[in-house]
Amino acid sequence: QVQLVQSGAEVKKPGASVKVSCKASGDTFSTYGLSWVRQAPGQGLEWMGWISAYSGHTTYAQNLQGRVTMTSDTSTSTAYMELRSLRSDDTAVYYCAKGTYYGYFYWGQGTLVTVSS
Amino acid sequence: EIVLTQSPGTLSLSPGERATLVCRASQSISSSYLAWYQQKPGQAPRLLIYSASSRATGIPDRFSGSGSGTDFTLTISRLESEDFAMYYCQQYGSSPETFTFGPGTKVDIK
């Protein structure tokens, strides 16, 4: 059974950066793509981008271009999402999700990132 | 870029009733790339349906998906207490490459 375990909650000041990790187990890491999805308090789901763990190819949501970087380390089966120049509206729960074009079959438990001065 | 809308915003039903949730795309999409998720408070989303009509592993058969083109439906044949939750549809588009979520439908107890 595939498991995705994310790093713990973070509190950051506006303008800072945050890096969230997502460690996969139970399957070949390179199987499927790894996406990041966030959810602001009381809001819906927002796709942020995805990375092919096999090739390292990335695609980012247009509204986050230039502020987000997704990477993966196949030796540790871990994916990372770094978001820079944080603003208060980046406060959200950040999820990693593993899947294909057909859907995300596996999800991490979520990481709360709070941006506050 | 394709936009997904979901209706109704909230569906108030009683256990045992049938729920019909609709997801509409701003332009025709491949049914292969339409998925439905369930999310309960404080939990990560869970995949229910992929490729418009295929149930994910472990999903009860009271959940079914259908549709094509721009109109897709998630049906819960007989609501059970654990089914009261938020439901999101999602589509993959290749140009530009993006995974878009709908705004969600909340199914709550009447």
The predicted-structure confidence for B54-106, as pLDDT tens digits, reads as follows: 999 999 999 999 999 999 999 999 999 999 999 999 999 887 788 999 999 99
* Residues of chain B found within 8 Å of residue A50, distances taken between Cβ atoms: 99
Structure tokens of A38? 């966030």
User: What residues are paired with A100 via a beta bridge?
Assistant: A103
Q: Point out the residue among A46, A102, A108 whose CB comes nearest to the CB of B35.
A: A102
- By the CB < 8 Å criterion, does A59 face chain B? yes
A70 pLDDT exceeds 80?
A: yes
A110 pLDDT exceeds 80?
A: yes
- By the CB < 8 Å criterion, does B77 face chain A? no
Q: What is the pLDDT of residues A26-67, one digit of tens each?
A: 877 677 889 999 999 999 999 999 998 788 899 999 999 999
The pLDDT value given to residue A27: 76
Please state, rounded to an integer, the average pLDDT across all residues of chain B.
95
Please state, rounded to an integer, the average pLDDT across all residues of chain A.
94
Percent of chain B at pLDDT > 70 equals: 100
A39 C-beta neighbours (distance < 10 Å), count = 19
- By the CB < 8 Å criterion, does B92 face chain A? yes
Strand order in the sheet with A78-83: A3-6, A18-25, A78-83, A68-73
Q: Name every residue whose Cβ is closer than 8 Å to that of residue A6 and which is 6 or more positions away in sequence.
A: A20, A21, A22, A23, A94, A95, A96, A108, A109, A110, A111
Contact call for B50 and A102, based on CB within 8 A: yes
pLDDT-based confidence at B109, cuts 50/70/90?
Answer: very high
The pLDDT value given to residue B1: 83
Q: Point out the residue among B46, B99, B102 whose CB comes nearest to the CB of A35.
A: B99
Q: Which helix (H) or strand (E) holds B67?
A: strand B63-76
